[in-house]
Structure 1
């Protein structure tokens, strides 16, 4: 039995990069959903405007990150089953 060390190293490298990337994307998703609108100077909650738009953009980006993670998991399951 002979081991193809180059192929084994390639699989290790790709799996390491994809794992770190997916953890990073999932972390960005969590950060995006945990963002709250910043209060104004008076201490009241921020009204509709710049802060609310930024919060909506962060939430949309977070959902996109979660969708990317779900797509990666679905693709992995497809590779295992096929």
Structure 2
């Protein structure tokens, strides 16, 4: 029995690529939820916390809560990750076909 090395390589490349893609999309979702800090917008270069007496900076009531667009983007990212996971399970479990 001879292994098909090209098929094995193809499966390895696709699985590594899918794994990296899912991790990146999940990370973008987490980043979208953590994007809003005290007056800072995503990518403005401000460090979170802004200097207060606590370890994470002084926050007022409601400060640091993500807005609706950030929650929507995060939700879409997490939904895409869940869809990829469920599609993988669909491919693996033969009773689903």
Partner of 2:75: 63
Structure with the bigger percentage of helix = 1
Structure 1: runs of 5+ lacking an equivalent:
46-51
Structure 2: runs of 5+ lacking an equivalent:
41-58
Give the paired residue count.
72
Moved over 2 A (4+): 35-40
Q: Distance in 1 between matches of 2:13 and 2:7?
A: 10
Change (3 A) 1:11 1:3: same
Alignment of 1:1-82 (within 5 A): 1-39=1-39, 55-82=67-94
Q: Distance in 2 between matches of 1:18 and 1:7?
A: 16
Task: Give CA deviations for 1:22-57 in whole Å, capped at 9, x if unaligned.
Answer: 0000000111112225438xxx96xxxxxx9x8321
* RMSD between aligned residues: 2.3
TM-score, normalized by length of structure 2? Answer: 0.65
